């Protein structure tokens, strides 16, 4: 019998039991690869993070991420939660105001910044991949998106923004909605969402409106994972895609460094606050996207297998 510890954290949370819950296995070396998906299902979160020894000297660890039903090559909240746990579990020396770290992911080296105040990590920021603005949906496909989300197609059209596939590491289908009431009232049909994404390079549907609960927020969003039939309370990779989308489509005031706040998870009673930063080069092209948030430790446990 093998006993392995896990640490529970809430990512993008301003208080415990908010944000996106995550189980992190800080010492996953030696676990059979086939066991990782089963452990993720046992944790029953949107994602579970497994930390392995790094193979590259510039990386703190190697990260593998699993949802309930598949391995995920890139995701925001598992990466931030993993770095928070790794730093606090191992007593990493923290240099104020920023300690820069990295991990090995399935897509290569991923860089993270730890904002430090008084010797404590107060915010984590993840540098995402250069944005790829993909397919725009038109006509019947927009109607199908509305039907799949349980939103009238007119509410999508009235937003006057495109329905578009965007990626900053994880491709998502971004769907604008005119009002907060209409977005809150969405009742997704996951079978139809699966059909909507068939043949498209996207794994999540990220619906948003520019009407928000918090006046400082630029967008209110909801994230739907058709493969797992669930709504995700805080999706960092999707927030990065949305931030790039908003800047690229001129839906927000664009500056050389555009700072955005995205709120999510309110319908699930797990409010999440995601801080995004989009840097624009002199040629007008997006030069970089960073998404961050707070991480709060809420407990630990162990599995015996």
Phi-psi region of 128 (alpha: psi -120 to 50; beta: other; left: phi over 0): beta
For residue 197, what is the enclosing H or E element?
Answer: helix 190-197
The two tokens of residue 277 are 């930063």
Write out pLDDT tens, residues 182-223: 999 999 999 999 999 999 989 999 999 999 999 999 999 999
The ranges of the chain annotated as CATH 3.10.310.10 are 3-127+294-304, 132-292
Query: Does residue 41 register a pLDDT over 80?
Result: yes
Query: Which CATH topology does 3-127+294-304 take?
Result: Diaminopimelate Epimerase; Chain A, domain 1 (3.10.310)
Q: State pTM to two decimals.
A: 0.93
The two tokens of residue 131 are 């944005």
Indicate the length of the chain as a whole number: 305
d(CA 172, CA 184): 19
Give the other-Cβ count within 10 Å of 277's Cβ: 17
For residue 131, the 8-state DSSP code is: P
- Cα torsion 179, 181, 187, 193 to 10°: value is 10
Give, in order, the Cα–Cα distances in Å from 43 to each of 8, 69, 195, 205, 230. 10, 12, 28, 23, 15
Query: Does residue 69 register a pLDDT over 90?
Result: no
- Structure confidence at residue 29 as a pLDDT band (50, 70, 90): very high
For residue 130, the 8-state DSSP code is: P
pLDDT confidence of residue 111: 93
Domain 132-292 = CATH 3.10.310.10 = yes
Maximum CA extent, the chain: 59
Radius of gyration of the chain (CA): 19
Give, in order, the Cα–Cα distances in Å from 255 to each of 160, 214, 290, 293, 304. 22, 22, 15, 21, 52
**Residues of the chain with pLDDT > 70: what percent?**
100
The two tokens of residue 247 are 């800047």
Write out pLDDT tens, residues 86-130: 999 998 899 999 999 999 998 789 999 999 999 999 999 999 999
Three-class DSSP category at 56: coil
CA atoms within 13 A on the CB side of 82: 34
For residue 128, the 8-state DSSP code is: P
Report which of 106, 128, 78 is spatially closest to residue 232, judged by C-alpha positions. Answer: 78
């Amino acid at each position: 019998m093998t006993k392995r510890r896990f640490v529970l954290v809430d990512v993008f949370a301003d208080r415990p039991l908010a944000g996106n819950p995550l189980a992190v296995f800080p010492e996953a070396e030696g676990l059979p690869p086939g066991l990782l998906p089963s452990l993720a299902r046992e944790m029953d979160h949107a994602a579970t993070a497994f930390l392995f020894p790094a193979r590259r000297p510039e990386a703190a660890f190697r990260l593998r991420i699993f949802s309930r039903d598949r391995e995920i090559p890139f995701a925001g909240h598992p990466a931030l939660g993993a770095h928070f746990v790794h730093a606090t579990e191992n007593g990493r020396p923290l240099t104020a105001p920023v300690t820069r770290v990295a991990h090995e992911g399935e897509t290569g080296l991923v860089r993270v910044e730890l904002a430090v105040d008084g010797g404590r990590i107060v915010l984590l920021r993840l540098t995402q991949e250069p944005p790829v603005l993909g397919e725009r949906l038109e006509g019947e496909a927009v109607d199908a998106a509305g039907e799949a989300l349980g939103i009238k197609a007119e509410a999508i059209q009235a937003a006057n923004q495109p329905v578009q596939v965007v990626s900053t590491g994880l491709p998502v289908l971004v769907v604008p909605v005119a009002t907060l009431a209409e977005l809150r009232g969405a009742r997704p049909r996951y079978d139809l969402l699966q059909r909507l994404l068939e043949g498209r390079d996207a794994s999540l549907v990220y619906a948003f409106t520019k009407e928000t609960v918090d006046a400082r927020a630029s967008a209110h969003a909801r994230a739907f994972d058709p493969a797992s039939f669930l709504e995700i309370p805080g999706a960092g990779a999707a927030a990065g895609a949305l931030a790039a989308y908003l800047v690229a489509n001129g839906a927000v005031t664009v500056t050389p460094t555009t700072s955005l706040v995205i709120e999510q998870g309110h319908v699930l009673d797990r409010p999440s606050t995601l801080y995004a930063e989009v840097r624009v080069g002199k040629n007008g092209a997006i030069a970089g996207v960073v998404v961050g948030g707070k991480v709060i430790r809420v407990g630990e446990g162990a599995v015996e297998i």
